[in-house]
Structure 1
């Protein structure tokens, strides 16, 4: 017997949970897929999903990008001083900041994370247990590597920085 079409199979609870904890971060270069980690940082993951569903991240700049270290975004002002207006208590863990880790940016106060986050492009163990890890890139790091780099120690990106074209929770995407 030969099948001529694809069968629509029901989505299992595990698959639905996976989609609920997966982000699609679209760059001009391609799609970055982030597996969120509510087991490590449930409050941060919930807030990231809330902001994503509001469209908060769409169009925001990667304002700070340091070669062989990280790319930072999530500031509506585009200069590293802004946020969504709600601070989160830290949820530090023993999860290492290795290439592909997604973590919250913050000021010197451990409980100052808001909407800004960064993607680590090289292992950065000096960040461990000092920043809240909430996800990991599982596909598309080659696109993160293409994000326009900043200059100097600050890593601030001159001119027109790359942006998040669109960010979505995978469970919300209708194919």
Structure 2
């Protein structure tokens, strides 16, 4: 009984920290390198500046009703979509990690990732947050700011992908498909939407998912690998694929390691 209660407290702490860091949008230093006391477990570190937060808030306000159809999301038609599956090979410290990206169950989230990979956005970026204590949690990267070695470490985790064509940040909606349903829920967590089913894509060890702030539609380029089964994140964050080869290499990623390259090796024709 004591062990179960302890595990519950750890899970509660993780969730609480996720929401706390999400609320801290506009405080660039709030997502500095994690420590065992102040901020031990944070998967969402895509905290924007005050201006960026306002943009997300406006988008979220427009997209809340209804939230179960892709047509309800402003700008959805302009986002990349993956119609099927694709394979991405991400090389870290010279070692390949193979990821199966699932556009069947997460077409927008998967399409965004594959598009950014194909554009070379992730090449050279850093894993700015890796958390294994008090238990395995996440390895997170994808902040475009981390390519610039002159950017202060305490700024990492606040960046997003800026589309050079529009000079605007590309945000994608929270997209999670309930098990057995024909289409995903958009812009709401399962709790917000009243969904009681488990998601089709779960936070199993080796899952890859999008980091975001507290606002559901604030994901952009930052992603994380689940270093363990993280069922308490299911229905709250968008999983879009799984590591199929090289999870032992994911397990060796250290904070500060960089992505040598990321390439789409199969399924690029499914990107629309």
Q: Which residue of 2 aligns with 1:153?
A: none
1:55-79 CA distances to partner (integer Å, 9 max, x unpaired)?
Answer: 1000000001101111001101231
Deviation at 1:172, TM superposition (A): 8.4
Secondary structure in structure 2 of the residue aligned to 1:129 = coil
| Cα offset, 1:50, TM superposition | 1.2
Q: Normalised by the size of structure 2, how large is the TM-score?
A: 0.51
Secondary structure of 1:63 counterpart: strand
Show structure 2 runs of 5+ residues with no match: 1-82, 147-155, 162-168, 178-198
CA distance in 2, matches of 1:166, 1:172: 18
User: Whose helix proportion is higher, 1 or 2?
Assistant: 2
Q: CA deviation at 1:45?
A: 1.2
Structure 2 residue 217 is matched with structure 1 residue 122: no
Is this contact kept in 2: 1:34–1:136, CA < 8 A?
Answer: yes
Q: Which runs of 5+ in 1 are unaligned?
A: 1-16, 149-156
Q: Which structure's relative contact order is higher, taking Cα pairs within 8 Å and 6+ residues apart?
A: 1
CA distance in 1, matches of 2:219, 2:115: 15
Q: 1:47-126 alignment to 2 at 5 Å?
A: 47-67=112-132, 68-78=136-146, 79-84=156-161, 85-93=169-177, 94=199, 95-126=201-232
Once residues 121 and 47 of structure 1 are traced to their aligned partners in structure 2, the CA distance between those partners, rounded to angstroms, is: 22
RMSD of equivalent CA atoms: 1.8
With the length of structure 1 as denominator, give the TM-score of the two structures: 0.78
Query: Aligned-pair distance for 1:171?
Result: 3.0
